[in-house]
Amino acid sequence: MRIKNSELGIWNYKTAGIALLVLFCLNVTTLFANNLADSAAKAYQRKEYKLSISLYEKILAEGQTSANLYYNLGNAYFKNEALGKAIYNYELAKKLNPTDEDIKNNLRIANSKLIDKIDSKENYFVGAIKSGVYALFSTTGWAWLTISTLFIALLFFSVFIVSGNLILKRASFWLGSLSVVAFFISFAIGVAALHNLNKRTQAVVTSEVIQVLNAPDATGKPKFSLHEGTKLIVLSSTNEWASVQLANGNEGWVRTQELGLF
């Protein structure tokens, strides 16, 4: 059915009004978050760390997330001597921006103050390599690397097609082939890094001391205790209980609320 001019005009005005309203709401939300962030930073500078934490947590509750936000919140928790929550937020910041040196440095400082020193089993070596590869770039960085290698491959193959020089044709063919291999590798790692970003299979103990039980039940027998900041592998979890594993292979059950999953 053909739309009349008058109807089209009304639709356009309505659409424009809705778009302006959405933009207004987004701007107000952003401005509100920025004001809270400024207030939180000023509270931190005044050494009012509890107030700073409260303001940063309020920004998170509004749905705003960023590596800088988690980093600043981690600093506030660290200054407030909440080591577990500091490490948890540093880990969240690192997950969003794995190449940031300030985040990695503060995480190293916080980890050096851990009470529990747990040796890793040898089979965790592969996992450490995978985490290191993922951390070479952010997910955006891996995406750009994938696009770049594809563009370079197309460029070399274009030279191969149009060039009349035999040496140049051979060189461009092999360089193009290597670029294709690099494209598939970077694409695969990028997809894996994105999957790793969205899943939560690790956790940090955020309570001061917790008991690891032999069963997901309040009547379960304690196997050992852990202190705040200790990092765990999450095997499975519900809203109430999480099955966890330490780097040395020991397993048990803890209350999910005592952990920060990432």
- 193 and 217 fall within a common domain: no
For residue 183, the model assigns a pLDDT of 92
Residue 125 within any structural domain of the chain: no
Mean pLDDT by 10 residues, the chain (262 residues): 40 50 50 81 96 96 93 97 97 91 96 88 54 71 90 92 90 93 89 68 93 92 95 92 91 95 90
Distance CA 199, CA 76 (A): 26
Distance CA 59, CA 131 (A): 29
Distance CA 161, CA 128 (A): 43
Length of the chain: 262
CATH of the domain at 228: 2.30.30.40
> To which residue do tokens 């940031």 refer?
100
For residue 180, the model assigns a pLDDT of 93
CATH of the domain at 70: 1.25.40.10
pLDDT digits (tens, 9 = 90+) for 90-130: 999 998 898 899 999 999 999 999 999 887 664 545 555 66
pLDDT digits (tens, 9 = 90+) for 170-191: 999 999 999 999 999 988 888 8
Of 62, 82, 111, which residue is a domain's last? 111
- 17 and 86 fall within a common domain: yes
- 14 and 99 fall within a common domain: yes
For residue 117, the model assigns a pLDDT of 86
Domain count of the fold of the chain: 3
**Structural domain boundaries, residue 191:** 131-198
Task: Assess contact for 107 and 75: CB atoms under 8 A.
Answer: no
Of 62, 78, 111, which residue is a domain's last? 111
- 104 and 29 fall within a common domain: yes
Distance CA 234, CA 82 (A): 22
User: Which tokens belong to 180?
Assistant: 């294709």
